[in-house]
Amino acid sequence: MTGDPTVLAAEPLPPAPRLDRAAIEQIVGSGRHLLVQGGMGIDASDGLAGKIAAHRGPRLVGVGTISAVVKTEAQLRAEIRRAKQESAGGYFGVNLMAAINKGDFERCARIAIEEQVSFLVQGAGISREIIRWCRDGGVPFVGIVSSGRLAAMYEKWGAEWLVAEGAEAGGHIGDIGHPLPSLVDEVVAATSLPVVAAGGVDASDVSRFLRQGAVGVQLATRFLACSDGDVHPAFKAMHVGKRPEDVVIITSCVKGMKARAVRNAFTDKLARGEAVPPRSKRWYFGPDGYEGRKSSCIQCLGEGLCKCRASGFKESFCITDALLLAAIEGDTENGLFYTGQSLLRIPERDVSELPSAAEILADLEAQLANDAAAAAAAPCGCAGDGTSREALA
Ligand SMILES: Cc1cc2nc3c(=O)[nH]c(=O)nc-3n(C[C@H](O)[C@H](O)[C@H](O)COP(=O)(O)O)c2cc1C
């Protein structure tokens, strides 16, 4: 449920601070690291960016991310201005998937640049144009990478920092054979840019990835299961008390990419090879449709990238329907509940126990303080795993 555009400030708010390479070097130089909240479409991460961006703790600087996927102009501007209000001058950016319809991709990028967010981050495909738009508009560009080769390429193209996303991540996963610990080593070796580690991370891993040379970590799934995000309560409930057999890998309609989701009647249907064609989205976008597109298929993806549309709606499924049904309606039978492997590390057993975003951040701070204390107390001046006192100070 995106912020209500009717409560927007009439004038755009002041720019968010730029999160570029120099800003990150300054943060790291001051002994702190980045705690990035990963953007989650469609609308799954709404309401989170400003809350995470407001965090400026002793060891972590919070960084929020808004997902622009299938947002109307009014919805995206509302979510950005809401984050500006809630973050009180903190860092937050906008996530764009290169696989979406080219017109929407450019429209959303231009809105984010006009609103002067802290950075634009691109996932699920590569567009070089966005790097030029960002340079011209004075907004740092960030790439999501699944290999050292891509990291080196993005550095050459002008990215300011990178997110290395491993196989444990949620939603669409690229190279599902590349686990995060080895990916971080590969990416850090391939680039001089600051690298943020993402995919399956929880509080107990943060020190380890910082030791490997990351400037911070990105968490997404953990923030789905928090008390104050906008995502439907049923989505949160799908994230508690789960076992390994509750997590499945599906074939998405987006380029046939693999994706991780919570198992339910919908993923069972996909496993049986049943097609789920698009249905009307009037209930969500109203009679004017999505940016004027009123048919059941709103052509959310780039030309030729939707397996459902390419098959004349006889195969695969409509991803916009499935994700909206999950995030907005909380339809546990027909919705698609993307998740990450860290779903299995969520300790709470009931929605009523879920912590707020601020409490999750406080836990992360506490764990880092414990790790530093353990390193300081070790006779060799290092933690049991080799962490030096200086690295965790
Ligand atoms: C429900 C869901 C939706 C996601 N949507 C997107 C997206 O639209 N764009 C993107 O780049 N990453 C997306 N991701 C990936 C996350 O931003 C994040 O990088 C990844 O899940 C790693 O963090 P985690 O393991 O803590 O979830 C999504 C993840 C989830 C769980």
> What is the SS3 string spanning the chain?
CCCCHHHCCCCCCCCCCCCCHHHHHHHHHCCCEEEEECCCCCCCCCCCHHHHHCCECCCEEEEEEEECCCCCHHHHHHHHHHHHHHHCCCEEEEEEECCECHHHHHHHHHHHHHCCCCCEEEECCCCCHHHHHHHHHCCCEEEEECCHHHHHHHHHHCCCEEEEECCCCCEEECCCCCCHHHHHHHHHHHCCCCEEEECCCCHHHHHHHHHCCCCEEEECHHHHCCCCCCCCHHHHHCCCCCCHHHEEEEECCECCCEEEEECCHHHHHHHCCCCECCCCCHHHHCCCCECCECCCCCCCECCCCEHHHHCCCCCCECHHHHHHHHHHHCCCCCCCCECCHHHHHCCCCCHHHCCCHHHHHHHHHHHHHHHHHHHHHCCCCECCCCCEHHHHC
Same domain flag for 85 and 204: yes
Same domain flag for 79 and 185: yes
pLDDT digits (tens, 9 = 90+) for 64-77: 999 999 999 999 99
How far apart CA 23 and CA 19 sit, in angstroms, is 6
For residue 380, the CA-to-ligand 1 centroid distance in Å is 39
Name which residue sits closest to atom 1 of ligand 1, judged by CA.
338
| Rounded mean pLDDT, 164-193 | 91
Same domain flag for 248 and 165: no
Number of domains in the chain: 2
Tell which one of 71, 206, 221 to mutate to probe ligand 1, the residue whose CB is within 8 A of the most ligand atoms: 221
pLDDT digits (tens, 9 = 90+) for 179-210: 999 999 999 999 999 999 999 999 999 999 99
Same domain flag for 41 and 166: yes
pLDDT at 393: 45
Per the prediction, the chain carries an average pLDDT of: 92
Nearest atom, ligand 1, residue 200 CA: 25
Q: Which residues, 6+ apart, have CB-to-CB distance to 281 below 8 Å?
A: 289, 290, 296, 298, 320, 321, 324
Same domain flag for 132 and 264: no
Same domain flag for 84 and 194: yes
Same domain flag for 225 and 240: no
Is the pLDDT confidence value at 19 over 60? Answer: yes
Same domain flag for 202 and 340: no
Is the pLDDT confidence value at 365 over 50? Answer: yes
For residue 382, the CA-to-ligand 1 centroid distance in Å is 33
| Rounded mean pLDDT, 141-146 | 95
pLDDT digits (tens, 9 = 90+) for 252-310: 999 899 999 999 999 999 999 999 999 999 999 999 999 999 999 999 998 899 999 99
Same domain flag for 58 and 172: yes
Please list the residues that pair with 144 across neighbouring strands: 163
Peptide bond into 42 cis (omega under 30): yes
Tell which one of 36, 37, 40, 232 to mutate to probe ligand 1, the residue whose CB is within 8 A of the most ligand atoms: 40
Give the pocket of ligand 1 (CB within 6 Å): 38-41, 44, 67, 69, 95, 97, 123-124, 144, 165, 168-171, 198-201, 218-222, 338-340, 342
pLDDT at 384: 46
Domain finish residue from 328, 345, 362: 345
pLDDT above 90 covers what percent of the chain? 85
| Rounded mean pLDDT, 104-120 | 96
Same domain flag for 132 and 216: yes
Domain finish residue from 306, 322, 345: 345
pLDDT at 10: 55
Q: How would residue 6 be classed by pLDDT, with cut points 50, 70 and 90?
A: very low
| Rounded mean pLDDT, 217-226 | 97
Same domain flag for 237 and 225: no
pLDDT digits (tens, 9 = 90+) for 291-307: 999 999 999 998 899 99
Q: Are 81 and 9 in contact, with CB atoms under 8 Å apart?
A: yes
CATH for 101: 3.20.20.70
Same domain flag for 83 and 127: yes
How far apart CA 392 and CA 383 sit, in angstroms, is 9
pLDDT above 70 covers what percent of the chain? 93
Q: How would residue 389 be classed by pLDDT, with cut points 50, 70 and 90?
A: very low
| Rounded mean pLDDT, 6-12 | 57
Lowest pLDDT segment from 120-124, 245-249, 250-254, 292-296: 120-124
Lowest pLDDT segment from 152-161, 192-201, 377-386: 377-386
Host domain of residue 249: 233-345
Is the pLDDT confidence value at 375 over 90? Answer: no
